[in-house]
Chain A
Amino acid sequence: AQSVTQLGSHVSVSEGALVLLRCNYSSSVPPYLFWYVQYPNQGLQLLLKYTSAATLVKGINGFEAEFKKSETSFHLTKPSAHMSDAAEYFCAVRGNEKLTFGTGTRLTIIP
């Protein structure tokens, strides 16, 4: 069965600093991986997805993630944090048509 682990339930970064949110996956087959963002009182929105076409995936709002098979990781990064990036971020892996989500990382931006 597929699973994902998000390291750090809360991350705080200063505005303009690098954002790094960690996700490690476990999968017996080549995985399809996703990052979703949830703003307060809203549903989840897809940031980006890995479907084996390229290991570096670019998403919306300046985010990107790199798939590293040797490290079983799919960490999310953004070079320069903006106040509007404050939200909760979920890593997910697809298996048998279902998505399994991580526990989420709440990102706080310090002015």
Chain B
Amino acid sequence: DAGVIQSPRHEVTEMGQEVTLRCKPISGHNSLFWYRQTMMRGLELLIYFNNNVPIDDSGMPEDRFSAKMPNASFSTLKIQPSEPRDSAVYFCASSLRRDSYNEQFFGPGTRLTVL
């Protein structure tokens, strides 16, 4: 299994530009999670999906952030417009929503720098 795939691995953009981060979960997994990691705030859950449906987006910082999961094998996290304070590492994780412990498998992350 290839694991969770994220692209791009690194993104450098200028303030005001639109940024799209992509994630391919592990085949067969039906839950997908987007996290953000910064030095100041640690690891934060932004949003998660079950069976392609957004369940909890309470962690999305503001309306500039949006996430979609059009099918079971693809999800995007979009920031429009981007700001320097959005600079962080964004992780995608997936799990099989089958039993209680729901082990999450993480992708390698996308390091976003907004200038």
Residues of chain A whose beta carbon lies under 8 Å from any beta carbon of chain B:
32, 34, 36, 41-46, 49, 51, 90, 94, 97-104
Residues of chain B whose beta carbon lies under 8 Å from any beta carbon of chain A:
4, 31, 33, 42-43, 45, 48, 50, 55-56, 91, 93, 97, 100-109
If over half of B's interface residues share one DSSP class (helix, strand or loop), that class is named, otherwise mixed; here it is strand
B residues in contact with A94, CB < 8 Å = 100-102
Q: Is the CB of A98 within 8 A of B108?
A: no
If over half of A's interface residues share one DSSP class (helix, strand or loop), that class is named, otherwise mixed; here it is strand
Q: A51-B100, A103-B42 are in contact. List 5 more A-B contacts (CB 8 A).
A: A32-B100, A43-B91, A44-B93, A97-B48, A100-B45
Chain A residue, CB-CB nearest to B109? A43
**Contact partner, B4, options A43, A46, A90, A97, Cβ 8 Å:** A43
Q: Is the CB of A99 within 8 A of B107?
A: no
A residues in contact with B104, CB < 8 Å = 46, 99
Q: How far is the CA of A96 from the CA of B44 in the complex (A)?
A: 15
B residues in contact with A51, CB < 8 Å = 100-101
Q: How far is the CA of A110 from the CA of B41 in the complex (A)?
A: 28
